[in-house]
Structure 1
Amino acid sequence: MRIALFTDTFLPDINGVAKTLGRWTRFLESKGVECQVFAPTSLTAGDNDVFRVERFYSIPFLLYPECRLAIPNPVQLRKSLHAFQPTLIHCATPFNLGLFGLYYARKHRTPLVASYHTHFDQYLSHYKIPWVEPTLWKYMQWFHQSCQRVYVPSKSTLDHLHAKGLRELEIWSRGVDTERFQPLVDRKSVLEAYGVDPVKFVMLYVGRLAPEKSVDVALDSYAALPAEVKENCHLIIAGDGPSASHLRECYEGDPGITFTGFVQGARLAELYAAADVFLFPSATETFGNVVLEAMASGTTVIGPSAGGVMDIIEHEVTGLLCPPGDVAAFTQALLRLYDSKETCSKLALAGREYALRQSWDEIFNKLLASYEEVVYGTSGNPRHSQEARMVR
C-alpha cells in the first residue's frame, strides 16, 4: 500500500492529533508501508526528517489558532500525487488539504478514508457563533459521504456523528506509552521545582487554556473547597492558550494556584506522577489523551461524564465522573479523594491497570487491517472506491 495522508496538523506540532498521526506514520514505516504526508507549514521548532512530509503555506484557524489551515498549491499537489501514485487516501481534516484529497480520490477512483479528531461543533458556542452549526453539519455530511471508513477515537464520538447523519463509522482508539508515563517519581523534587509544597494535596490540570476546555471549572472547584481543606491543597495548571493571560490575572493572588505554562516530555510525565489527583473538566474531547496519560502515571482522575473522557473513565472503578460544568459535583469529588486516601489509591491502581492494556501496537494493527480491507477487500486485489462502498 501507498498512503497519502492529508492533515492540518503534524509533527513537530504539539497536540494530540499531531502526535497520534506521527506515531501512526512511524508504525506504517515499520511495516514497510509507504506514506506521504501533506500538511501545513508548522510554526513549532523541531525536526521531522524521518517523515516524508510536503508542507504548504498556512494561516491560523479561527477556532484554534495553534492549528493551521493550509493554502494548497494544486499544481504542486497534483505533481506529487502523480509521482507517488497512492493506493489509499486518508483525510485527517475536512478542510482545505482534506478537500484536495477528496477530489483526487474521486477523480482517480482511489479508496478514501477519513478520521475525525475534533468536535468543532461544540466549540462554536464557546466562541459565540452557534448559528454556524447547521451549515457545518451539512458540510460534514457532504464531505464524508464518499468515505469507505470514517475513523473516530471513541464510542461517544461514534454515537455523536451517527446521530448527525455520518455513516461508515469505525473506532480507532488511542493508546499510551506506559514506560514514559508511569508512577515512579521523586515527588519532592518535582513539586519543589514549581514552588509547590510536597506535603500538600496536589491537583493537576494539563491541557490547552481555552474556553472550550472549561479550565474555569477546575479553578472554581478548587476555590469552592472549605478553607480548612484548601489551605492543605495546591492546584497546578499546566498548559498555554488564548485564555492563559486572563486566567493568570484572575488568580494571580492565590498562593495555592500555580500556572506552569506549557510543559512536555519527561517534565510532563513527572508532573503527572507527582500529583495526587488529575482534574480535567473538558466535555468537548473526542478522546482525552491526557486522561489516559494521567491514569498510566498512577494518578487518580476526575473528569466529566461527557465526550471521549466518559469512554476512558469507568465511574467508581478507574476514576470519578461528574456532570459537565457542575462545580459543586467536582468540588465534592475532590473532597472525597482528599478525605479518603484508600479510595484515591484504589482508583489510581485500577486506572493504571486499565492504561497498561491500551497498547498502541494492538490499536495500530487493527487500523492497518482496516486499511487493507478498504484497499483490497477480501480478494487481495486493489479495488476502486465505488466498489468498496458497495460492500458496507
Structure 2
Amino acid sequence: MRVALFTDTFLPDINGVAKTLGRWTRFLESKGIACQVFAPTSVTEGDSDIFRVERFYSIPFLLYPECRLAIPNPVQLRKSLHAFQPTLIHCATPFNLGLFGLHHARKHRTPLVASYHTHFDQYLNHYKIPWVEPTLWKYMQWFHQSCQRVYVPSQSTLDHLQAKGLRQLEIWSRGVDTERFQLIVDRKSVLEAYNVDPAKFVMLYVGRLAPEKSIEVALDSYAALPQAIQEDTHLIIAGDGPSAGMLRECYEGNPGITFTGFVQGARLSELYAAADVFLFPSATETFGNVVLEAMACGTTVIGAAAGGVMDIIEHEVTGLLCPPGDVAAFKQAVIRLYASHETRCRLALAGREYALRQSWDQIFHKLLASYEEISDANAANGLLSSEARMIR
C-alpha cells in the first residue's frame, strides 16, 4: 500500500489535526507503508520529521488564519503523484489540495477516503457570515460523494454529517499519550513560574483563542463567582489566536487571571496536572483533544454539552457538562467542585481511567484495517472487471 495524504495543516503546525496526522503517518511508516504528504508551507518553525512531505505556497484561511490554504502547482503535483504511484488517496481537506487528490483519484481510479476534522459550518455565525452555510454543505456533499469512507472523530460528528446528507461515515477516534500526560507534578514550582499562588483554586483553559471557542464563557464564569470564592481562585488562559490581543486588553489587568500565551510539550502537561479544574466551554469541537489530555492528567473537566466534548465526558461520571454558553451553569459547576474535594477527586479518577483506555495504537490499527479493507475490495473489483472484459 502507498498512501498519498492531502491536508491543509501538518507538522510542525501546532493544532490537533496536524498532530493527529503526524502520528498517523509515523504509524504507517512504522508498518512499512509508504506515505507521501502534500501540505501547505507552514509558518511554524521546526521540522515535521516526516520524510515525505511536499510543501506548496499558501495563504491564510479566512476562518482559521493559523490554517493555510495551499496554492498548488499542478505540474509539480502531477509529477510527484506519477513518481509516487499511490494505491490509496486520503483527503484530510476538502479545499484546494483536497481537490487535486479527488481529481487524481477519479482519473486514475485510485481508492479515495477523506477525514473530517473541523465544524467550519459552526464557525460561520461567529465570523458573521451565516449565509455561506447552504453553499458550504452543497459543496461538502459534492466533494465527499466519491469517497469510499469519510472518517470522523466522534459519534456526534457522525450524526451531524449524516443529517447533512454525507454517507460512508466511519469513526476514527483520537487517543492520548498517557506517559506524557500524567498525574505527577510539582504543583508549587509549575504555578509559581506563572506567578500564580499554588494555595489558590486554579481553573485552566487550554486552546485556541478565537470567537468559536467561547472563551468569554470561562472568563464570565470566573467573574460571576461569589467574591469570597473568586478571591481564592485563579484562572489561567493558555493559548494564542486571533482573539488574544482583545482578551488581554480586556482582562489582563485582573490579578486573578493569567494569560500564558502558547504552551506546549512538558510545560503543557505540567500545567494540566497542576490545575484543580479544566474549564472548556467550546461548543464547536469535532472531538476535543485538550479535554482528553486534561483527563489523562487527573484534572476534573467542566465542558460544554455539545459536539465531540459530549462523546468524551460522561456527565457526573468522568466530568461535568453544562449547556453551551450558560455562564450560570458553568459558575455553579465551579462552585460545586471548589466546595467538594471528594467530588473533584471522584470525577478526576474516573476521567484518568477513561483516558488510559484511549490507546493511539489500538485506534491506528483499526484505521489501517479500514484502509486495507478498501484496498482489497478495489483490487477484487478490478480483477472482476478485467475478467469481464476478457469474457466479452
TM bucket (normalised to shorter chain) is over 0.9
How far does the alpha carbon of each residue in 1:342-383 deviate from its partner, in whole angstroms, 9 at most, with x for none? 000000000000000000000000000000011112x9x465
CA distance in structure 2 between the aligned counterparts of 1:340 and 1:383, rounded to whole angstroms: 61
Counting matched residue pairs gives: 385
User: Which residue of structure 2 lines up, in the alignment, with residue 136 of structure 1?
Assistant: 136
**Deviation at residue 253 of structure 1 after TM alignment:** 2.1
Letter in 1 for 2:41: T
For residue 206 of structure 1, what is the aligned residue in structure 2?
206
1:376 & 1:38 partners in 2: Cα distance?
24
Residue 302 of structure 1: SS of its match in structure 2?
strand
Whether the aligned pair in 2 keeps the contact of 1:212 and 1:282 (CA below 8 Å) is yes
RMSD: 1.3
CA distance in 2, matches of 1:100, 1:242: 30
Tell whether 2:9 aligns with 1:9.
Answer: yes
Tell me how far apart the structure 2 counterparts of residues 187 and 298 of structure 1 sit (CA, whole Å): 13
Pairwise mapping of residues 286-325 of structure 1 onto structure 2 (< 5 A)? 286-325=286-325
Aligned-pair identity (%): 86
SS of the counterpart of 2:259?
A: strand
Residue number in structure 1 paired with 2:28: 28
Q: Tell me, what secondary structure is at the counterpart of 1:351?
A: helix
Conserved? CA contact 2:22–2:50, under 8 Å = no
Q: Secondary structure at the match of 1:99?
A: helix
Whether the 8 Å CA contact 1:111–1:383 is kept in 2: the answer is no
**Cα distance between partner residues in 2 of 1:267 and 1:94:** 34
Indicate whether 1:230 and 2:230 are aligned.
yes
Structure 2 matches for 1:336-375, cutoff 5 A?
A: 336-375=336-375
Are the aligned partners of 2:204 and 2:278 in contact in 1 as well (CA < 8 Å)? yes
CA distance in 1, matches of 2:294, 2:229: 23
Using a 3 Å threshold, how does the CA distance of structure 1 residues 280 and 111 change in structure 2: closer, same or farther? same
Is 1:254 aligned with 2:260? no
Distance 2:322 2:190 in 1: 29
Q: Is the 8 A contact 1:218 1:280 kept in 2?
A: yes
| Structure 1 counterpart of 2:388 | none
Question: Residues 337 and 344 of structure 1 are in contact (CA less than 8 Å); yes or no, is this contact kept in structure 2?
Answer: yes
**Unmatched runs of 5 consecutive residues or more in structure 1:** 388-392
SS in 2 for 1:177: coil
Where does residue 389 of structure 2 map in the other structure? none
Secondary structure of the 2:59 match is strand
Which amino acid is the alignment partner of residue 16 of structure 1? G
Which AA in structure 1 matches 2:105? A
Report the 3-state secondary structure (helix = DSSP H, G, I; strand = E; otherwise coil) of the residue aligned with 1:59: strand
Deviation at 1:51, TM superposition (A): 2.6
Distance 1:221 1:59, change over 3 A: same
Give, in whole Å, the separation in 1 of the partners of 2:169 and 2:287: 15
Amino acid at match of 1:133: E
Judged with a 3 Å threshold, the aligned counterparts in structure 2 of structure 1 residues 163 and 115 are, in CA distance, closer, same or farther, namely: same
Matches of 1:226 and 1:255 in 2, distance apart? 16
Question: SS in structure 2 opposite 1:103?
Answer: helix
Q: Render the CA deviation track for 1:111-163: whole Å, top value 9, x for unaligned.
A: 00000000000000000000000000000000000000000000000000000
Q: Partners of 1:48 and 1:382 in 2: how far apart?
A: 36
- Deviation of 1:94 after TM superposition, in Å, equals 0.1
Runs of 4 or more, structure 1, over 4 Å off, are none
Contact 1:25 1:51 in 2 (8 A): no
State the match for 1:285 in structure 2.
Answer: 285
- Equivalent runs, 1:1-392 vs 2, <5 Å: 1-377=1-377, 381=379, 383=381
CA offset digits 1:87-126 (Å, max 9, x no partner): 0000000000000000000000000000000000000000
Displacement after TM superposition at 1:48 (Å): 2.2
Deviation at 1:50, TM superposition (A): 3.2
CA contact (8 A) 2:39 2:55 kept: yes
SS in 1 for 2:100: helix
Distance 1:236 1:21 in 2: 29
| Contact kept in structure 2, 1:375 and 1:383, CA below 8 Å | no
What is the identity, as a one-letter code, of the residue corresponding to 1:160? Answer: H
Alpha-carbon distance in 2 for matches of 1:107, 1:47: 33
Residue identity opposite 2:104 in structure 1: Y
- Structure-2 separation of matches of 1:66 and 1:242: 9
Does the 8 Å contact 2:38/2:54 carry over to 1? yes
What's the secondary structure of 1:5's corresponding residue?
strand
Corresponding position of 1:390:
none
For residues 267-290 of structure 1, what are the alpha-carbon distances to aligned partners after superposition, in whole Å with 9 as ceiling and x for unaligned? 000000000000000000000000
**Unaligned ranges ≥5, structure 2:** 386-392
